């Protein structure tokens, strides 16, 4: 039978309030012997705080929600792991929800998490939610709990947001190609509809102009941040005279690598490659891929700090936290002779 606070109070011959204060480590005027006895009884009966019942009194569920677009993408699985660790250390449980980049799931999971009484939520909106942004923007504006947009956000609405400077990240990649003598540089971009994806392709175009390099239409392929779109883009780019390829995320880089290997094309001897996310290194055979690093742990911790501070004080103004990406140089970019 499930033991309750009342049962413990009866056995310890104290009030329910005393048991609640002792079990929740709240200050109270109770002899140490009584305190120890209460803890011993609770341990003997394997008592656990009923968080749902507690939340009815405290109006806090100590539950947070995280909505991500693709849990199979190493970027988001790493982000989820780091957010969950930080939340747990701060007394919160985390409900992780995956939308598979569907706008309809963004909206449905937002409602589900609010109905489950989360105290706040993190969201990386699906790429689809940028195609018809109005509905999702309205849903976010009408939220009655604090939230943080991570990595992808709507500039049009006032929200807490934590993200990396995408254009800066791409500039670092193109600069590295140029420093090693490359001029025929192609780009596999992320989804044009998303702020995140489009800003990387814009960053590529700006960097090419900065270095006075030709931006050829056939050098630009647009993917969807997933493996197959990187493979398909590779099939087209190897038909051009491009010698270097910037790829907007690691999952598409894996697809490109598959394409190049099928055509016996080597990295960096035949194609110099720079990726984005810098999460492939533990899995790579042969050439390690030079990549733009978005410190996922830092992204997670900064997002948690923003959300927890807004749960503590809902009157805080929205925060815009832009983080700096870094280029991690490995051996996938050849020095052009």
> Applying CB under 6 A, which residues contact ligand RIB?
73, 75, 151-152, 196, 225, 249-251, 276-277, 294
CB of 81 to ligand RIB, least distance (A): 15
Taking the complex as a whole, how short is the minimal distance between the CB of residue 266 and ligand RIB, in angstroms? 25
In the complex, what is the shortest distance from the CB of residue 227 to ligand RIB, in angstroms, rounded to a whole number?
Answer: 11
In the bound complex, what is the minimum distance in angstroms from residue 267's beta carbon to ligand RIB? Answer: 19
Pick the closer one to ligand RIB by CB: 21 or 273: 273
Please identify, using beta-carbon distances, which residue of 63 and 68 lies nearer to ligand RIB. Answer: 68
Query: Smaller CB distance to ligand RIB: residue 176 or 195?
Result: 195
- Count the neighbouring beta carbons within 10 Å of the beta carbon of residue 60: 14
Residue 84 or 243 with smaller CB distance to ligand RIB: 84
Token representation of residue 264? 């016996």
Q: Nearest residue by C-beta to ligand RIB?
A: 249
For residue 132, which of 102, 158, 109, 111 has the smallest C-alpha distance? 102
Q: Could you give the C-alpha distances from 289 to 33, 220, 334, in angstroms and in order? A: 62, 20, 11
Q: For residues 196 and 287, which CB has a smaller minimum distance to ligand RIB in the complex?
A: 196
Task: Give the nearest distance from C-beta 88 to ligand RIB in angstroms.
Answer: 23
Q: Which is nearer to ligand RIB, 63 or 74 (CB)?
A: 74
Least CB distance to ligand RIB at residue 279 (A):
8
């Amino acid at each position: 039978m499930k033991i309750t606070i009342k049962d413990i109070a009866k056995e310890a011959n104290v009030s329910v309030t005393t048991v609640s204060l002792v079990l929740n480590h709240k200050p109270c005027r109770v002899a140490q012997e009584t305190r120890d006895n209460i803890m011993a009884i609770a341990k003997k009966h394997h008592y656990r705080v009923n968080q749902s019942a507690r939340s009815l009194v405290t109006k806090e569920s100590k539950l947070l929600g995280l909505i991500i677009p693709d849990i199979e993408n190493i970027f988001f699985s790493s982000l989820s792991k780091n957010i969950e660790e930080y939340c747990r250390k701060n007394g919160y449980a985390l409900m992780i929800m995956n939308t598979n980049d569907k706008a309809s799931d963004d909206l449905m999971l937002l409602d589900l998490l609010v109905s489950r009484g989360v105290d706040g939520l993190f969201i990386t909106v699906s790429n689809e939610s940028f195609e018809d942004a109005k509905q999702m923007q309205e849903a976010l504006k009408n939220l009655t709990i604090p939230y943080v947009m991570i990595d992808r956000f709507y500039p049009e609405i006032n929200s807490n947001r934590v993200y990396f400077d995408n254009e800066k990240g791409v500039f670092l990649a193109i600069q590295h190609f140029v420093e090693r003598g490359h001029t025929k540089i192609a780009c596999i971009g992320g989804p044009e509809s998303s702020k995140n994806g489009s800003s990387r392709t814009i960053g590529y175009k700006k960097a090419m102009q900065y270095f006075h390099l030709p931006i050829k239409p056939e050098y630009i392929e647009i993917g969807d941040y997933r493996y197959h779109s990187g493979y398909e883009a590779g099939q087209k780019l190897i038909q051009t005279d491009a010698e270097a390829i910037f790829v907007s995320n690691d999952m598409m880089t894996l697809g490109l690598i598959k394409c190049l290997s099928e055509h016996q094309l080597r990295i960096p001897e035949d194609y110099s490659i720079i990726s984005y996310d810098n999460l492939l290194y533990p899995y790579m055979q042969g050439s390690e891929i030079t990549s733009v690093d978005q410190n996922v742990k830092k992204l997670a911790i900064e997002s948690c700090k923003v959300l927890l501070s807004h749960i503590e004080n809902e009157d805080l103004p929205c925060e815009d936290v832009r983080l700096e990406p870094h280029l991690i140089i490995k051996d996938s970019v050849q020095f052009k002779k």
